[in-house]
């Protein structure tokens, strides 16, 4: 069979969705800001303790160590630990993965990168009952696509982060429901 016909047949039996993890520009910015802040607070605390200026701006060595320098040191240590956590999440690309719907094999595979191990959920495609859209407004808005599976709680399929526009969410949900041959709920 020619390659273009094989690709066409494969595209009708296989749907893959790539999920973005924690390697987002906003996380790089947050990691950088928290790192610089933590190092700055720590250097100001050390300057206060040793009586020497370790920072190129200001004169933190003139600060009294107890309580100002000590508190800055605590803030600096906390910020450095938070920055290390953020950089670990970015380096692991936490939450990234693939949703794979394979009609030829009759399987749904949901693969994600976890903190310490890979997460792999596999089940028969015939167990899928519906594709569900969930939209919540308010202080912490959510918009995501869920998979209703027999004998399981609803499985989220979209990445965590900024909510997708409703039009885009409906389009993705409708495409998936049409591919799987199930209903679309929550529109």
Q: Look at 143 and 128; give whichever has higher pLDDT.
A: 128
Q: CA nearest 132: which of 168, 167, 156?
A: 156
The per-residue DSSP string of 151-173 comes to: TSPPEE-SPSSSPPPHHHHHHHH
User: Is pLDDT of 40 > 90?
Assistant: yes
Bridge partners (DSSP) of residue 134 are: 144
Q: Please give the average per-residue pLDDT across 21-41, as a whole number.
A: 95
Taken in order of first residue, the domains within the chain and their CATH numbers are 3-20+95-185 (2.30.29), 27-92 (no CATH)
Give the span between the Cα atoms of 75 and 73, in whole angstroms. 5
Q: Please give the average per-residue pLDDT across 102-118, as a whole number.
A: 92
pTM above 0.85, yes or no: no
- Percentage of residues of the chain with pLDDT beyond 90: 66
């Amino acid at each position: 069979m020619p390659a273009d016909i094989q690709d066409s047949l494969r595209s009708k039996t296989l749907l893959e969705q790539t999920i973005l993890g924690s390697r987002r520009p906003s996380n790089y910015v947050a990691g950088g800001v928290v790192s610089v802040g933590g190092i700055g607070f720590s250097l100001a605390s050390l300057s206060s303790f040793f009586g020497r200026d370790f920072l190129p701006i200001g004169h933190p060595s003139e600060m009294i160590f107890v309580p100002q320098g000590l508190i800055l040191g605590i803030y600096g240590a906390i910020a450095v630990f938070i920055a290390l956590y953020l950089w670990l999440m970015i380096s692991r690309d936490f939450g990234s993965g693939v949703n794979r719907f394979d009609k030829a094999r009759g399987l749904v595979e949901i693969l994600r990168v976890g903190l310490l191990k890979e997460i792999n959920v596999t089940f028969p495609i015939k167990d899928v009952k519906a594709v569900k859209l969930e939209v919540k407004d308010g202080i912490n808005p959510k918009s995501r696509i869920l998979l209703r599976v027999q004998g399981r709680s609803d499985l989220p399929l979209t990445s965590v982060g900024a909510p997708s526009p409703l039009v885009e969410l409906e389009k993705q949900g409708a495409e998936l429901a049409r591919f799987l041959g199930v209903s679309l709920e929550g529109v």
